[in-house]
Amino acid sequence: MPTSGKSLISAIIFDGHGGGSKVGWNEIKAWDSSQGVLWVHLDLNEKRTHSWLLKKSHLEKIQVLALTAEEVRPRTVFASNGVLIVLRGINHNPGAEPEDMVSIRIWLEESRIITTSLRKLTSIDDLIFSLQQNVGPKSPADFIVALYDYMNDHISESVEEIEIQIIQLESDILTAESQELRAKISEIRREAVMLRRYLSPQRDALYRLYSEPSYLFDDNHRQQLRLLGMNVGGLPGLGNPWGFYIACATMVTIGICTIIYFKNTKWL
C-alpha cells in the first residue's frame, strides 16, 4: 500500500442494521461503546498508526506489536479482552502476483475492531462497500465471518484460474514441445504451491477461531466459520500434505504417457 500521508484508511461506526457512519480521528477519540461497534482500519506504512496504537488505542503492548509486525503468519490468539487474528488474502494490487499474499492483522473486542495492513486488500474494500449498501456486518463476529467469506471468494477465483491453465495445458500436450510443457507445468506448480503454503496455516487459524470458546462468537458464527473452513479456496488436496504433489505427478505422468503413446503409434 503506497504511503499517502494518511494513517487512517477508514473508520466506521456500525449502526447494528448492516450499515454504518464514516468517522475521523476526532470521532474515534470521542467514541464509546454506546455509539455502536467501531471499526478502525490503519495503514502500517504511516508513523501515526504506530503512535496511535501505542499511546491511544488502550491495547497492551504485546497486542500492539502483533498488529504492527511486518512478517506474520495466519494465526488466532485469544486474550481476556479480545482476540487477535492474522489472515492473508490474494494480492490484486497493480503489477503484483496474486500469490504474493497480503496480510491483514485484526483485533476484535466486544464493541471495537482494529485492522492494519501494509498493502491494499480487496476484501476490505468489499466490506466497506457492503456497509455503504446497508448489507454489512452488525457485530465484530459478523465482521470476521464476512471478511473471511470475501477472502475465500477471491482465493476461489485464483484457484479457478489455475484450473483453466491446467485445462489449457491438457489441450497443448499434443502440439507443444516437451521443454515448453515443462516450463508451463513449472509455472502452474509454483502458483499452486504458493497458494497451498498460506492456505494450510490459514485453515488452522480458522479452526482455532471456531473451536475455542469465546464470548465474541455464538454457535451460529462458529458454524459459519466451520463451513467456510471446509471450503477454504476450493483447492483440492489441501487436507493431504502430499495431495498437491500427487496431483502434479499424476498430471505429468498422464502427459508423458500420452506423448509416448502417440509417438509409438506414429501420430507424432
**CATH number of the domain to which 116 belongs:** 3.30.460.20
Evaluate whether 89 touches 121 at the Cβ level (below 8 Å).
yes
15 lies in the same domain as 133: yes
Same-domain pairing of 123 and 204? no
Q: Is there a single domain that holds both residue 189 and residue 86?
A: no
Where a domain ends, among 72, 105, 137? Answer: 137
pTM over 0.85? The answer is no
Give Cα separations from 170 to 6, 162, 164, 237, 255 (angstroms).
Answer: 49, 13, 10, 20, 8
In a domain, 2, yes or no: no
Q: Do 158 and 258 have their domain in common? A: yes
- Would you place residue 238 in the very low, low, confident or very high pLDDT band (cuts 50, 70, 90)? very low
Query: Predicted confidence band at 8 (pLDDT cuts at 50, 70, 90)?
Result: very high
What is the count of structural domains for the chain? 2
Say how far apart CA 123 and CA 104 lie, in whole Å: 10
Domain containing residue 155: CATH number: 1.20.58.340
Residues 118/45, Cβ–Cβ less than 8 Å: yes
Cell (9 digits) for 244:
498437491
Range of the domain at 124: 8-137
Last residue of a domain, one of 116, 137, 158: 137
- What is the rounded average pLDDT of the residues 84-101? 77
Angstrom CA distances, 95 to 41, 58, 193, stand at: 24, 37, 20
Taking only the tens place, the pLDDT of each residue in 156-194 is 777 767 667 666 766 666 555 566 666 766 676 666 666
- Asked if 191 and 217 touch (Cβ cutoff 8 Å), the reply is no
Residue 3 forms part of a structural domain: no
Same domain flag for 119 and 166: no
Is 9 buried (19+), middle (13-18) or exposed (0-12) by CB count in 10 A? buried
Q: Is residue 22 part of a domain?
A: yes
Select from 234, 231, 250 the least CA-distant residue to 242. Answer: 250
Sheet with 75-79: strands ordered across: 20-22, 8-14, 38-43, 112-117, 102-108, 82-89, 75-79
Q: How remote is the C-alpha of 231 from its chain's centroid? A: 13
- Is residue 142 in some structural domain? no
Average pLDDT, the chain: 81
124 belongs to a structural domain: yes
Residue 65 lies in a domain: yes
Instruction: Name the pairing type of β-strands 8-14 and 20-22.
Output: antiparallel
List, for residues 134-164, the tens digit of each pLDDT value: 999 999 999 999 999 999 888 877 776 766 7
Question: Nine-digit cell at 50?
Answer: 504506530
| pLDDT at 98 (0 to 100) | 55
Same domain, 23 and 130: yes
Is residue 143 included in any domain, yes or no?
Answer: no
Question: Which residue intervals of the chain are DSSP H helices?
Answer: 25-30, 47-55, 61-68, 122-132, 140-172, 178-211, 219-230, 243-264
Residues 187-212: tens digit of each pLDDT: 766 666 667 776 778 888 999 999 99
Q: Is residue 66 part of a domain?
A: yes
Domain boundary among 73, 105, 137: 137
| Domain shared by 128 and 184, yes or no | no
